[in-house]
Amino acid sequence: MQVLDRHYRDPRGVVVHVTGYDREKSQVIFLRAGYEHECMRPVWQFQQFFKRVDDGPHQNHKA
């Protein structure tokens, strides 16, 4: 598993913390605030429905 530290918005606008990418299973692993277990989504689904949150000046901001 590749360890990551990124933030994305889910389709409902809730920010999630992406903690990893499992290349073998082609899944993105993330945490939701207030939920104790890891969540997983297939990469294709994650790319389609989740949007990256601006982490700082190096990111392109889209309004």
Residue 61, pLDDT score = 41
DSSP characters over 2-41:
EEEEEEEE-TTS-EEEEEEEETTTTEEEEEETT--S-EEE
Residue 54, pLDDT score = 78
Residue 62, pLDDT score = 42
Q: pLDDT, tens digit, for every residue of 9-63?
A: 999 999 999 999 999 999 999 999 999 999 999 999 999 999 999 765 544 444 3
